A and B are shown apart, each in its own frame.
Chain A
Amino acid sequence: MTQAGALQRWVGIPVALVIAIGLQASLFAQLPLFGAKPEVVLLVTVAVAMRLGPEWGAGVGFVAGLLQDLIGGLPLGMSSMSFTIVGYTVGFVAPNLPPGPFRQIGVTFVATVVAESIVLGLAWLLGQGGRGVTVPTVLLSSLYTAALGTLVVPLMGRLLTPPGDVS
């Protein structure tokens, strides 16, 4: 990896996270799809994990989850744990999947289902029930996120890969 490439990552990822948090808390908070909101911050984690592998996926997932817990009402650490596991798993599994137009959509959809299911499980463990989130909400949210991912994940891929950098 070139020095310019490294710099691009260390600047690009925080900028992407800040924009994603802002969009999640303002624009997409007001645009639910039949009551389901997309996981914009998770998209950054998925894009990083697919491009840079499990370690980056886990690290960025942790920070992204922490930011999401901060702006939301969940106890700190719940989304961090969820996004860490999802970021690691996506980084591990995605390179082994057959390439094709549906790979990224499928990965984003499943990643969102798993991430929200982990948060639901933790909420149950903490005695908070399902927090009003039902299976249809999770599925709709995952579809919404996967649809947004068709735009965001390739954009993030470009942001993380400077021209001529082969790493």
Chain B
Amino acid sequence: MAALNKRAPSRRKLVLIGLIILSVILITVDYSSDAEGSPLRKGLLEVVRPVQSAVGAVTRPIGRFFSGVFSAGDLSRDNERLQEENERLRAERVDVAKYERELEELRRLTNVVNAKSYDFLTARVVGEPATNFDETITIDAGTDDRVSDGNPVRTGQGLVGRVLDATSTQSKVLLLTDPLSGVGVRDVRNGITGKLQGHGSGKPLTLDFVDASADVAVGDEIATSGFEGSRFPPNLPIGRVATVDLDRSGLVKAITVEPYADGTRRDFVTVLLWTPST
């Protein structure tokens, strides 16, 4: 009996150590293939997603209701802001039509090839970031709808992120705010390039690797650079420069960017059926 009692704690420790070792193996396997989405994760997701969707279909409307009740004040402010923005955009639409005609004329004169337009599809957001550490959303379009890993995801305002794990009927979208998300971008005003880096929920996006002498100003528009091998096509709008300071080292600038689009507060997003060239 005494021997049995002695064996029990050893077995417990073995279970604990075994599961920790298994976790380390999982982290190593999954993390090393995170950029493309690991086959292990995709296989498990194919099993889990239908169950998650079924429970979510019941509980999501309840969450929406309470979320709406608690954020009624925000909605009212958003409504006022959007009405003002709508007025401004209506006024600008007239100018844009004129500029488009001029641009087309200039393109014809200079033989510049028109910017590529990409196939796209609209998808419904069916899952918000689930935990405090999560910076992904789930959409109801997958490989059955021609969505594949790496496809850029945007709203009418700007880039939101990219598809990370596309399964047959749903896909996970890695938001720009995730620390694993890095985007090659340029300042639209002067073409200065840098890397847009996420730092987690509630933390501003930073524009890294910009020389201290570079001419970047608050309000500058930031868009994807689309260089060779980039994860995104060129000229997708992302946001505006919010602050510009000098880094502590004095060698580079410390720049934050306010994104145009918040992927966590959308019902629908657009998936561009574009994949990075290999």
**Residues of chain A whose beta carbon lies under 8 Å from any beta carbon of chain B:** 18-19, 21-31, 35-37, 39, 54-55, 58-59, 61-62, 65-68, 70-78, 80-81, 84-85, 88, 116, 119, 122-123, 126, 128-133, 137-138, 141
User: How many residues in B have their beta carbons less than 8 Å from beta carbons of A?
Assistant: 60
**Residues of chain B whose beta carbon lies under 8 Å from any beta carbon of chain A:** 11-12, 15-16, 19-20, 22-31, 34, 38, 40-41, 44-45, 48, 51-52, 54-56, 58-60, 62-64, 66-67, 70, 127-136, 138, 164, 172, 174, 177-180, 199-203
In contact, B11 and A55 (Cβ under 8 angstroms): yes
Give me 10 A-to-B residue pairs in the complex whose CB atoms sit less than 8 angstroms apart, sorted by A's number: A26-B127, A27-B59, A54-B16, A73-B172, A74-B131, A75-B31, A76-B40, A80-B26, A81-B24, A84-B16
Q: Which residues of chain B come closer than 8 Å to A31, judged between CB atoms?
A: 63, 66-67, 70
In contact, A116 and B132 (Cβ under 8 angstroms): yes
By beta carbon, the residue of chain A nearest B66 is: A31
Give complex CA distance A9, B135 in Å: 33
Interface of A is mostly: helix
In contact, B22 and A26 (Cβ under 8 angstroms): no
Give complex CA distance A62, B132 in Å: 19
In contact, A55 and B34 (Cβ under 8 angstroms): no
Additional pairs, 4, CB under 8 Å, beyond known A21-B55, A77-B28: A22-B56, A76-B41, A119-B133, A131-B133
By beta carbon, the residue of chain A nearest B200 is: A132
In contact, A25 and B130 (Cβ under 8 angstroms): yes
Give complex CA distance A77, B20 in Å: 9
